[in-house]
Structure 1
Amino acid sequence: MFIENNSRFDFDTTVEKIRELVANGGWSLLHVHDIKGIIGNKGYDVLPVTVMEVCKAPLSAKILGSDDDRAISVMMPCRISVYQKGNGDVVIGRMDAASMATGMEGAGAEVMLEAFRQMEEILAPVLV
């Protein structure tokens, strides 16, 4: 359901490189959530976690333009999580959309597979 890979870089560098790679890959960065900061403001201390919401409009439009596929919107936009583990490793996590698409049919499955393929290609330079 989820894929985790260690990063080649420290936490901040990983986040910055992913931001650049997403833009260079033709995707849009919709929002960046500083989860550590949000939780920290509530009085809890957690290791660094940043979640980036990314979208590629032509792919999204295929799903959102179809009544049969619009339910997939609960998994949109695509998310990339960068987090630090207790041992200091920096990890890039994301949903295994290819596995999830195997139980689907039609355009929705095709779009999920294509989004997964593109995102893996985009992330490859930062993955160990």
Structure 2
Amino acid sequence: MKISYLLSFLLALTVISVSGQQTGIEKQAVMIENQSSFGFTETMEVLSKTIAEKGWKITTIHDLQETMKKNGKEVLPVKVIELCNPAHAFGILSKDEYRDVSPMLPCRISVYEKSDGNTYVSRMNAPAFAAMIGGDAAATMVKAYNETEEMLRLVIQ
């Protein structure tokens, strides 16, 4: 049964990705992007502080601009914050039937600049995926998403 959920998930991603490339509309079903009210550095600072204040943990910050620079490529600033709420993660990782969802952990928020000079934040639309996963894992994903959205309200327009 879990394999059928996974296959449905992968098929939906494929359809949405292909459709999004053609129209630009369906892509939003998978990813959510908002412009930040702040510049890049301040957005990172506000998010880092808020994440800690809400009891979440930043496990890693990937500096993709720096990674690209090390490989001889120049891109505008982009950092991916991996954040975790240990209680939420435990609810998924402590049950064998939900461990297959572990590739979606931890939650991720991307902060980046675009060529228009503005800073943006993006993240996965977890509720869209949760429906395909079902059960307690889906409920946990939606709860984590809602908490993350609350943190993002401090920076998005």
Same fold (TM over 0.5): yes
Letter in 2 for 1:68: E
Percent identity between the two aligned chains = 38
Q: Name which of 107, 110, 116 aligns with 2:136.
A: 107
- Tell me which residue corresponds to 1:97: 126
Q: Residue 46 of structure 1 is aligned with which of 47, 54, 75?
A: 75
Q: Which residue of 2 aligns with 1:32?
A: 61
Letter of the 1:117 counterpart: N
Q: 2:127, 2:134 → 1: CA distance?
A: 12
Could you tell me which runs of 5 or more consecutive residues in structure 2 were left unpaired when the two chains were aligned: 1-29
For residue 109 of structure 1, what is the amino acid of its counterpart?
Answer: A
Q: Kindly state the Cα deviation for residue 120 of structure 1 after the two structures are TM-superposed.
A: 0.3
Report how far residue 6 of structure 1 moved: 0.3
Correspondent of 2:111 among 82, 94, 107: 82
Give the alignment's TM-score, normalised by structure 2. 0.80
Greater per-residue strand proportion: 1
| Larger gyration radius, structure 1 or structure 2 | 2
Give the match for residue 33 of structure 2: 4
Structure 1 runs (4+) deviating above 2 angstroms are none
Q: Secondary structure at the match of 2:112?
A: strand
Higher RCO (CA 8 Å, separation ≥ 6 residues): 1
